[in-house]
Amino acid sequence: MGVWTLVGFILTIFGLLLYVIFARKEEAQELKRICPQCGLSVPARRNFCPSCGKQLVVAQGLRSKTCMFCGRKITQDATFCDACGKAQE
């Protein structure tokens, strides 16, 4: 086993380490949301803020309606459809 085998081995480990770190970073950014009440960064899968207890996820169907033109789900108070842009009544 020569020096270059060792160097190659170390570089491979280093590359894997970097990959893991960056993959985790992206995942962490993707799966976080900011609590509108206290500003805490909360994992997106949590429905309530662990700090102030504010509900972060609005239950589907409660505050949403269906676009009468394209059928996409939009918020109840939306004046225009996000998908097709048509005005709602």
- From residue 43 to residue 62, the character string flagging contacts with Zn ion as x (rule: CB under 5 A) and all else as - is ------x-xx-x--------
Q: Which of 14, 19, 69, 80 binds Zn ion (CB under 5 A)?
A: 69
C-alpha R_g of the chain = 23
Tell me if 39 sits within 8 A of 52, measured CB to CB.
Answer: no
CB-based burial label for 7 (10 Å; 0-12, 13-18, 19+): exposed
CA dist 3 and 23 (Å) reads: 30
Task: State which residue, 12 or 75, has the beta carbon closest to Zn ion.
Answer: 75
Q: Which of 35, 57, 87, 88 binds Zn ion (CB under 5 A)?
A: 35
Question: What is the contact surface with Zn ion in residues (CB under 5 A)?
Answer: 35, 37-38, 40, 49, 51-52, 54, 67, 69-70, 81, 83-84
